[in-house]
Amino acid sequence: MTDYIKIKFTRLIDEKYSSYNKNLLYIFVNALSSSGKSDNTIISYLLDLKTFFDYLNIEESLKDINISNLRPIHINMYYSYLITQRNNSSSTLKRKKYVLKLFMDFLKEQNEISSIPIPSESVIKVKQNKLPKMPIFLELKEIRNLNKALEELCKTEYTKIRNIYIINLMLNTGMRISEVLNITLEDLRRSKANGYIVIRGKGNKERYFPIDISDFSDDHKIKSYISKYIEYRDDIDTTENSLFVSLKGEKISQRYIQKILKEGAEFSQLNKKISPHKLRHTFATHILRNGANIRHVQELLGHSSISTTQIYTHANIADLKESLTKNKIKY
């Protein structure tokens, strides 16, 4: 278990939890870490389980109940709470059900409970939206405005070219922010030599992305920034092997990238909440809009299931609608 997870665990798990419950959670989190789950995934699971244990503490009829004594009716009460009190969407409820089932399966495997109290089919039904929620992405004009904002906001030449490099690398590859920040100097050298980069994704799964990450953009200004950054990076006094580092030679954090994106969106007056993951949405949307094969996009994004990639086909649907409107038979 990483130090980051240990710190987050201490901060998230409330003192009001019994030592028994805290111990079960700790063992589960440690098992997740040992299985190769990313820190972000583990924190996400932990937050979902925190919601469950918080519910046990606020529900009068369940306050003193031991996990081993939970029954399906208790779990259904929890599902009902998520819908009626927390207004969770169907996708959020589905995720929390999955995490809770994973946790209970683990407890059963560890002989902490004799049976799994998860109901085979919940009596609580969630109304499904008729249309899937469309992902937020940036249009080309908004991308240009965001880049201009980053140029204006950065206080030093080094941070300006580094931040623009990071943001545009995500926009042009669809990499997750964790994947970008884990790129090493050796990865850079290999991508220049081979014309592709090996990306270490979720669960340490590797995939190949056919791009030289020092020359991924056709925009002359972006290309010049990338060239300058690599020159500047060589002069940074650091033992850190990450490609992207601060002026002090420290690895860049995900929180920092989230911060500069928020500031950039506000400065350029984008009427959208922009996060690193929205840049991934942007890449997928535009590459599909330009005619890419959805199976190829699935490989580029590292999706295990094509159904995950299909949420981006809204772009093609919009283009088809526009084409139909302009070119429909007139009589």
User: How confident is the model over 201-253, as pLDDT tens digits?
Assistant: 777 788 888 888 888 888 888 999 999 999 999 999 999 999 999 999 999 99
% of residues, the chain, pLDDT over 90: 37
176 catalytic, yes or no? Answer: yes
Most confident of 29-38, 114-123, 236-245: 236-245
CA nearest neighbour of 74 among 11, 66, 132: 66
Distances (CA, A) of 133 to 130, 177, 305: 9, 22, 18
255 catalytic, yes or no? Answer: no
Pairwise CA distance, residues 177 & 321, whole Å: 33
- Judged by DSSP in three states, 77 sits in helix
pLDDT in the model for residue 58: 80
For 245, phi then psi, to 5°, come to -135, 165
pLDDT in the model for residue 202: 76
Residues composing the chain: 331
296 catalytic, yes or no? Answer: no
State yes or no: pLDDT of 325 exceeds 80: no
For 75, phi then psi, to 5°, come to -70, -40
C-alpha radius of gyration, the chain, whole number: 23
pLDDT in the model for residue 90: 84
202 catalytic, yes or no? Answer: yes
Q: What is the pLDDT of residues 65-106, one digit of tens each?
A: 778 788 888 888 888 889 888 888 888 888 999 999 999 999
CA nearest neighbour of 93 among 112, 80, 102, 110: 80
pLDDT tier for residue 159 given thresholds of 50, 70 and 90: very high
312 catalytic, yes or no? Answer: yes
pLDDT tier for residue 323 given thresholds of 50, 70 and 90: low
* 200, containing H or E segment: strand 197-200
Catalytic residue selected from 202, 207, 223, 289? 202
Pairing of strands 197-200, 206-209: antiparallel
Most confident of 4-8, 142-146, 203-207, 294-298: 142-146
pLDDT tier for residue 176 given thresholds of 50, 70 and 90: very high
Catalytic residue selected from 97, 162, 280, 286? 280
Overall fold of domain 140-322: hpI Integrase; Chain A (1.10.443)
State yes or no: pLDDT of 328 exceeds 70: no
Of 152 and 59, the one with more pLDDT = 152
pLDDT in the model for residue 260: 94
pLDDT tier for residue 300 given thresholds of 50, 70 and 90: confident
pTM: 0.64
Catalytic residue selected from 6, 22, 277, 278? 277
Domain borders along the chain are 3-109, 140-322
Q: Which two tokens stand for residue 152?
A: 């204006």
Average pLDDT of the residues in 251-265: 93
**What's the chain's average pLDDT?**
85
